A and B are shown apart, each in its own frame.
Chain A
Amino acid sequence: MPEARSELSDLVPRELAAELLELGRAQGAGFAEIYAERAVVSAFALEERRIRSSEYSRGQGVGVRAIHGQQTGYAYADGFDAGDLREAARVAARIARDGAPGGPPRGFAVVEAPAPFSLAAPVTLTLDPARKVELLRRADEAARGHDGRIHEVSAGFADSSKSTLVANSDGLWAEDRHFLARLTVTAFATEGEVRQHGYAVGGGSIEASYFEDQRTPEQIALEAAGVAITLLRAEEPRAGTYPVVVAPGWGGVLVHECFGHGMEGDVIRKQSSIRASQMGRLVAAKGVTIVDSGLVPFSRGSFRVDDEGTPAQRTVLVEDGVLVGYLWDLLNARLTGNRPTGNGRRASYRDYPLCRMSNTFIEAGPHPPADLIASVRRGLYCKNLGGGSVSPADGNFSFQVTEAWRIEDGRLAAPVRNATLTGNGDDAMLKIDGVGNDLLIEGSTGSCGKDGQWKPVGVGQPTVRFTGITVGGTGT
């Protein structure tokens, strides 16, 4: 984040912003907000050794939100035409009717917040298309060279730059700039009748040099190819409920789904989450501390200010097993008398903000990870998880495990394919009985979906042992 100021204040000058906010409250809404955005995405796709497509897209516009009590009116316009923006503000304002106009804000105060980290040379401003294509070629070569059974490789490189501006009727004015980049590799392996694939990714909110000195295309490609080859000889998981050890990093998607969604301010305010009545109670095993932080360096889930202009912060949700804090966006914080925690986030100017996580993780514990595996007589080691989902109201969750190993007498005995973990989020965190000392926050790949909006997030955890999780599969 080399600069916090963007060009957006030229496109939406303060006078226009004040006018739009006045229009947004013209029907009596108590609060109005504008959110302007300019985003560019560049993407290159390698398929079957070819650079199949080179792409660029641009999105820009302004959304206007009016809040009247618990009600939200939202409208937006593509671009920055003042007439279109005024119309959007008038439409949003209609959430209230015939109330006293709120007037314009008395002036704007710029939100001062330190950047959680800075980027000297982000990918978007540094790498030209030829360099990005070269990264894809290197990944393709490395994956194919790993093993003769790798017969096909797909790889993609995408990076984005986004400038944002938030101004609201309380006089808040905040600007930010976000840079993301990601290299993904899928390697396909075949042997006889068996086909498998492996997937790996690198990236985040990173310096361009990341792909040379942090995680090279070769490393990413070899990881993907290695998984595909390992799975060729994988067995079906044993169906049933038994001990499970989850590897550090992306395994944190478990705490994100099973626990984090139930801690978001909207479901707490509406009391549709079981967590709403559990403040101060034991909700996870002793020794488990769960944090959400928008400040994690170089993660996709980090930012200086959220999409409502609140500075990012570190929020402890669970301390030593006890529920101590929730996540709040502006609307839900106001309605419940809480302070916003910097968790008001939106996919783009076409969406109103929702309360949602940034980087969510389980803090490190005392155990060497090898001990956690060694302590299991018969169980499953989940080395890599795929997607996961939860139904927040009833707590049912599931995760696809992309690479797992059967544990026999404390050793990784054989690779396992096609495993699915399931359970209920209400008690999943209580089933943790060992926390490793190897915390890893995975900030390169996560996207969280909520109400149709997808948003970059980070997740993390050290190696974690569960007493028992239901594992789906066809083995016995």
Chain B
Amino acid sequence: MSDTPREGGPLETAALLRIGAEAVERARRAGAEHAEACLESLRSFTVRVNGGAIESLKQSVTRGLGLRVLVGGAQGFVSSADLAPASLDELARLAVALARFSTPDEANAFPTPADAGDEALPELGLVDPALLAWPAERRIEMALTLERVALGCDPRIHRTDGASVSTRDGHAALVNSSGLARVSSGTTVSAHVAPLANDGEGKQQTGWYGMVKCRLDELEDPEAIAREAARRAVARIGARQVPTARVPVILSPDIAAAWIGELFEAFSGEAQLKRTSWLTDRLGETIAAAAVTLVDDGRLPRAVGSEPFDGEGMPTRRNVLIERGRFAAILYDHYHARRAGARSTGSAVRGYSSTPGIGSHNLYIEAGDEGPEAILARVERGFYMDDQGSYGFNSTTGDYSFQAQGFWIEQGARTFPVEGVTVASNSLEMLRNVAAVGSDLRFLGSVASPTLLISEMTISGG
């Protein structure tokens, strides 16, 4: 590969706004009282390498439109990748026809320019010109480097489950019949590698490390990514089960981030209004240790979860969900805010093919001041959890029960690697039992946490 993909870039922002306005207009003509168009255009490139060669190379330029209408207060929605004028007419008619099957609801509305405020949208540094100009062969080279370096880190690493580098760039637009028109652009690059280590007895252990960033210069050096992935694989060699016990557990930054990603739903206005979560009616109460401050920030500069406006065109902002232990805010999109008599917190999240829902932008626990090694040193006997299974959270009860890997701690030091266990507790207990918050906050994606020490959880083992 010597040439950068040139098969036309994504549709430009002016074109998206024009098509969006066109779609809204056609929906109005078809009988919608209110209409909203959400558009995306995206170029993506992914290279996967395995065994020192390209395994696959995938490239695409896509676009799509989601059209939401209100007819008599009832909502209809259609989406399509076909933006031709004839198609827009058909979609508009379909959306209007569908709306009559929904229930009229006076809380249904789209934000007006007055709702959104007239502030100038901030420059968040979400587009990296260097990434746009990054030649395809460099991307391929980086993927090959990730794998090669990982393989060279330790003789016990014989192969990898592949390395990959992906880039995306594109634009999003939001236009509604109240006169709101917004457009934004972004770039992302992701890189990861999954080395496999052999323990000599035919048992294989995996390591995985990688990240997604908006800008090329925010990506860790590929050699550092590869070394960390290799370290993780080798650290697993010889892992064994431990007996069932109730002990302090350190959640690695990855594991703590996965947990707060699960917690998030309980803070949504939807769960609060439906009274379906373990945080129902607890706003204002102390729900966590004082060391815990949980934030969702849509405007962190150069962060992959940032966007200047949300999926309905409302300005994003920094929302503090837990402030030094106190449940401080509920997150709303426009609909649930109207239901609750509150203001949207800029938390409507969506792609073009779905209606908005309440979601997070950059969700994280604020860093404390203790280094992760100091936290480890505090644990006399316990478990350090650094990998988990995919399922094990109950969003209604907050129950937490995950398959876990990591290592055993004795006298403040790592002893041996552990697998074949689960770690269980309840999220409310865990929040209250946070005994230390590390200083090591770092974003590998859009959800992040420093190291957390939970004073007691149940390890289930042999």
Q: Which residues of A contact B (CB under 8 A)?
A: 44, 47-61, 70-79, 87-88, 90-91, 94-95, 97, 129-130, 133, 151-152, 154, 188, 190, 195-197, 239-241, 270-272, 274, 350, 352, 386-389, 391, 393-394, 396-400, 417-420, 422-424, 470-474
Contact = CB atoms under 8 A, between A and B. Distances in A.
A72 B55 contact: yes
Interface string B342-376: 00000000000101000000000000000000000
Contact of B196 (A74, A272, A471, A472): A272
Interface of B: 1, 5, 7-8, 50-51, 53-64, 74-82, 94-95, 98-99, 101-103, 105, 159, 161, 194, 196, 202-206, 236, 241, 244, 273-278, 280, 353, 355, 388-392, 394, 396-397, 399, 401-403, 405, 419-426, 458-462
A418 B78 contact: no
Given A70-B55, A393-B204, A420 B402 contact: yes
Nearest to A130: B101
B40 to A, nearest CB: 12
Contacts of B75: 52-54
A284 B90 CA distance: 55
A195 B275 CA distance: 9
Given A55-B355, A417-B397, A474 B82 contact: no
28 contacts: A51-B102, A52-B103, A54-B102, A56-B95, A58-B78, A60-B81, A71-B56, A74-B57, A75-B58, A78-B64, A79-B81, A91-B7, A95-B54, A195-B277, A239-B459, A352-B56, A387-B391, A388-B391, A393-B196, A393-B206, A394-B203, A398-B388, A417-B399, A420-B389, A422-B421, A470-B420, A470-B460, A472-B458
B81 A61 contact: yes
Contacts of A97: 1
Contacts, number: 243
A152 B274 contact: yes
Given A388-B391, A474-B425, A195 B101 contact: no
B53 A71 contact: yes
B102 A53 contact: yes
A268 B460 CA distance: 32
A53 B278 contact: no
A214 to B, nearest CB: 24
Contacts of B273: 48
Contact of B392 (A53, A398, A423): A398
A128 B401 CA distance: 42
B56 A74 contact: yes
A54 B76 contact: yes
A60 B1 CA distance: 29
Given A47-B274, A188-B276, A422-B422, A54 B59 contact: no
A44 B75 CA distance: 11
Nearest to B66: A57
Contact of B402 (A58, A424, A472): A472
A474 B458 contact: yes
Given A53-B76, A55-B76, A78-B82, 13 more contacts: A48-B273, A53-B355, A55-B79, A58-B79, A71-B53, A71-B57, A197-B396, A393-B206, A394-B203, A394-B236, A424-B419, A471-B422, A472-B402
Nearest to B276: A188
Contacts of B78: 55-58
Given A54-B99, A389-B391, A398-B402, A473 B82 contact: no
A387 B57 contact: no
Nearest to B389: A398
A252 to B, nearest CB: 16
A51 B103 contact: yes
Contacts of A60: 81-82
Given A58-B79, A352-B58, A420-B422, A94 B391 contact: no
Nearest to A151: B275
Contacts of B196: 272, 393
B275 A190 contact: yes
A396 B403 CA distance: 8
Contacts of B277: 195
A272 B420 CA distance: 20
Given A59-B81, A71-B54, A152-B274, A398 B397 contact: no
A181 B187 CA distance: 36
B451 to A, nearest CB: 22
B55 A71 contact: yes
Nearest to B457: A474
A84 to B, nearest CB: 9
Contacts of A49: 103
Contacts of A471: 422, 460
B68 to A, nearest CB: 9
Contacts of A417: 394, 397, 399
Contacts of A400: 391-392, 401
Contacts of B399: 417-418
A71 B205 CA distance: 26
Contacts of B391: 386-389, 398-400, 420
Given A95-B57, A470-B460, A78 B77 contact: no
A473 B401 contact: yes
A420 B103 contact: no
A274 B458 contact: no
B80 A87 contact: no
A470 B397 contact: no
A454 to B, nearest CB: 13
Given A55-B77, A87-B7, A396-B403, A75 B462 contact: no
Given A419-B401, A422-B389, A470 B462 contact: yes
Nearest to B44: A350
